[in-house]
């Protein structure tokens, strides 16, 4: 019997895969548990339409991420921090402060979880870079400068 998987099942397949399994396994376990549906003609057409729409949405999301990546490439964000005369700052600069500074200075709303700082702890004044994971296929680098307030 051919079935369409509704979720990933280890050793069997991934979501939206059409696979062939034994009739009893499909009828007694996969379909009643909601892990799969029968691969009838109507269900195949529905699957094809859902995959087409998903691909269209994914392309739009990637294009938006690429546009944002191009806009972020040329900018330098300034982050103010209280610092001693030696150049060491009190505390450290993290991705939360960088996300807030980008939003405040350039009006781009970036989730702090998508920002990865090159240095683990930034505790001195200077210029640094950070990677921004806008999408699994689109990444951007941004320069930021830690200045004394």
Domain of 23: which CATH number? Answer: 3.40.5.10
Q: Which CA distances in Å does 97 have to 20, 83, 102, 110?
A: 52, 16, 9, 11
What's 81's domain CATH number? 3.10.430.100
User: Are residues 75 and 123 both part of a single domain?
Assistant: yes
Which long-range contacts does 88-91 make (Cβ < 8 Å, 24+ apart)?
88/123, 88/124, 88/125, 89/122, 89/123, 89/124, 89/125, 89/146, 89/148, 91/123
**Which pTM does this prediction carry?**
0.68
26-75 residue pLDDT tens: 999 999 999 999 999 999 999 999 999 999 999 999 999 999 999 998 89
Choice among 14-23, 95-104, 116-125, 138-147 with the minimum mean pLDDT? 116-125
Structural contact between residues 21 and 7, judged by C-beta atoms closer than 8 angstroms? no
Residue where a domain terminates, one of 40, 65, 90:
65
Handedness of CA 70, 145, 109, 118 (dihedral sign): positive
Question: What's the total number of domains in the chain?
Answer: 2
């Amino acid at each position: 019997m051919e079935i369409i998987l509704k979720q990933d099942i280890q050793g069997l397949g991934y979501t939206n895969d059409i696979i062939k399994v034994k009739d009893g396994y499909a009828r007694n376990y996969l379909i009643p548990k909601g892990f799969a549906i029968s691969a009838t003609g109507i269900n195949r057409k529905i699957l094809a339409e859902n995959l087409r729409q998903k691909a269209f949405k994914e392309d739009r999301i990637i294009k938006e991420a690429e546009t944002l990546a191009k806009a972020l490439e040329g900018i330098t964000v300034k982050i103010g921090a209280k610092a001693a005369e030696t150049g060491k700052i009190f505390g450290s600069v993290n991705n939360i402060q960088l996300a807030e500074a980008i939003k405040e200075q350039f009006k781009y709303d970036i989730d702090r979880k998508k920002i990865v700082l090159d240095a683990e702890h930034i505790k001195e004044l200077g210029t640094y870079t950070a990677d921004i994971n806008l999408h699994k296929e689109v990444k951007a680098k941004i320069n930021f400068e830690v200045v004394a307030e």
